[in-house]
Structure 1
């Protein structure tokens, strides 16, 4: 039986053939989270998506219909200001009467710290929430000392005589600050384990607002969690033949996926989300590709393909496009699993 038919059967049984109460109005920030909320609300109602999948969550001007969705919402689900700092004011102003759930603050969510270097070592995938930054910095310092001649000059923030390299690295960190990022990487939806946690949170909040449909919400969440577990197994199988392959991403947004499937990137062309890398950074990345035999450079639809072409020039690495938001997918229940599946497929095909 398909998931849709199963959910319909469960919902019908739970409601005992009676008419379902009107669903609350729900607004959601980004398409992957909207997909999770839609899964929990399936058969009851449909949430509104505030930020279109093809738009950058870091910078966006709300259209009247999207502002209206926030204004009319009984509940708002969003990642948090670490991802969309500009949205915080709109949520506070337009949704002042709504129940607002910040998913990054939900109990059980695994949070990873930002990685602060262009090149990642096996240990350098960010600490979980219960670790501080001191150990991370200590490991970075060891790495810098070990590779002083090749990399430290490019990543050292403390020397004014390396203007080109310093300005690039400072710009990368400035990007995080300009976007309102806190200490944690906000791309936490790329961990299916976090998605499973959030499905319960979403069901609980919807049930509190709409107790008449609580049974349907929790049944939907349970079915979606089972699907998430199957998805993780599927992705692990997809990546198994290329496990250990070496790849670089355009910007550092994938460590939750890397952490979930123990498949680490070797580095990022740009640490920031909005600033192009300097010639010095590109040169460093090219050197790493040649030195370590990097097989794949992954880019995203919104980034300049010319930069990737420059990085690849003179190397044997291949390239593929990945998309953490599902910009080419239809919003809805199937979007989230397809985003995770597409990441794995693109990586496996590129390596």
Structure 2
């Protein structure tokens, strides 16, 4: 009798193992994307994360375990080359047999051009709304925009080289031409991606298609609830009343109708020049900035220099949600954290 029971248990475990093996192996680039995929896969499986917490997505060097996750993946979800230029080659080499989804180029998604200048003089939210037809960019439009950006960038680079200027814009292959890749901070993008993630998973795993669809629907409801909470809490945040360390938040700003006065650094991979610091100090003074949003990986002394005597408050925020627990609840938690930090600054 005991032998029969053990045999039955072994058989059940064997069947469970076969069922688990049929679940698609999924690799994701950054934690916010991982959180959305985890939401869709909840109760079925777990995705892998290629860019770990605290690492820069722009120039991360993969560890063997991360490379293995890519090589074993049936599906890869990533923001795109604009955010992680080093990952494109790795995906092509290691995930040759995988279905690869570049989220930033999905039709119907919000994609905004980089803002230029210390105080974002060249591109503001009003310009983006009028120019981009309700902010929708197709993959074709994205490619066309990049072609123009590359041409313009080549001309600018040649001109600056002749003048002997250093490029603050250029760092590790990530520049500020083209489209801003911080697209995950628009909740509408996240809701679109949930549906795409569910559809891609269902195409490989029809048995769990209903679960993927239900999880995506629940995930969208959760995001909508958080959106409502954030909108209510940001009522006191005034336009131009804050500056950010680097310009990573325009999608969040657009979604909640608030607008930063400027950015201390052009990017998270380059230090601001003395001239830029002087300019942002003028912005802080002229626009009576009351809050500066710093980030955990940056030198607080630099923020103190910018604030010198202004009386503005400093709050630390992080567009990648470093420190948040990974899993199905990550993305709503990220939105909540950003909204709460901004509200607390006023």
Does TM-score exceed 0.5, indicating one fold?
yes
CA contact (8 A) 2:49 2:66 kept: yes
Shift of 1:243: 4.0
Shift of 1:159: 9.4
Match of 1:99 in 2: 99
What SS class does the counterpart of residue 109 from structure 2 fall into? coil
With normalisation by structure 1, the TM-score equals 0.81
Match of 2:170 in 1: 174
Alignment of 1:61-210 (within 5 A): 61-120=61-120, 124-125=124-125, 127=128, 128=132, 167=166, 170-171=167-168, 173-175=169-171, 178-179=173-174, 183-210=178-205
Length, aligned pairs only: 304
Shift of 1:230: 0.8
Q: Distance in 2 between matches of 1:181 and 1:211?
A: 41
Match of 2:319 in 1: 324
Q: Distance in 1 between matches of 2:124 and 2:73?
A: 40
Match of 2:268 in 1: 273
Match of 1:137 in 2: none
Q: Distance in 1 between matches of 2:115 and 2:57?
A: 20
Q: Distance in 1 between matches of 2:136 and 2:339?
A: 28
What SS class does the counterpart of residue 100 from structure 1 fall into? strand
Q: Distance in 2 between matches of 1:62 and 1:103?
A: 21
Q: Distance in 2 between matches of 1:123 and 1:90?
A: 33
Question: What are the Cα deviations for residues 203-228 of structure 1, in whole angstroms up to 9, with x where unaligned?
Answer: 00000011111000001001111111
Structure 2 spans left out of the alignment, 5+ residues = 1-18, 143-157
**For residues 159 and 330 of structure 1, do their structure 2 counterparts lie closer, same or farther at Cα, with a shift above 3 Å needed?**
closer
Q: Quick check: 113-122 or 308-317, which moved more?
A: 113-122
Question: What are the Cα deviations for residues 69-103 of structure 1, in whole angstroms up to 9, with x where unaligned?
Answer: 00000100000000000000110000000000000
CA contact (8 A) 1:70 1:91 kept: yes
Alignment of 1:175-254 (within 5 A): 175=171, 178-179=173-174, 183-244=178-239, 246-254=241-249
Q: Distance in 2 between matches of 1:113 and 1:63?
A: 32
Match of 2:285 in 1: 290
Match of 1:258 among 239, 249, 253: 253
Structure 1 spans left out of the alignment, 5+ residues = 1-18, 134-156
Shift of 1:303: 1.3
Question: What are the Cα deviations for residues 139-196 of structure 1, in whole angstroms up to 9, with x where unaligned?
Answer: xxxxxxxxxxxxxxxxxx9899x98xx64xx31x224x82266611000000000000
**For residues 99 and 180 of structure 1, do their structure 2 counterparts lie closer, same or farther at Cα, with a shift above 3 Å needed?**
farther
What SS class does the counterpart of residue 178 from structure 1 fall into? coil
Q: Distance in 1 between matches of 2:28 and 2:136?
A: 28
CA contact (8 A) 1:85 1:180 kept: no
How large is the Cα RMSD of the aligned pairs?
2.5
CA contact (8 A) 1:20 1:213 kept: no
Q: Quick check: 243-252 or 111-120, which moved more?
A: 243-252
Match of 2:146 in 1: none
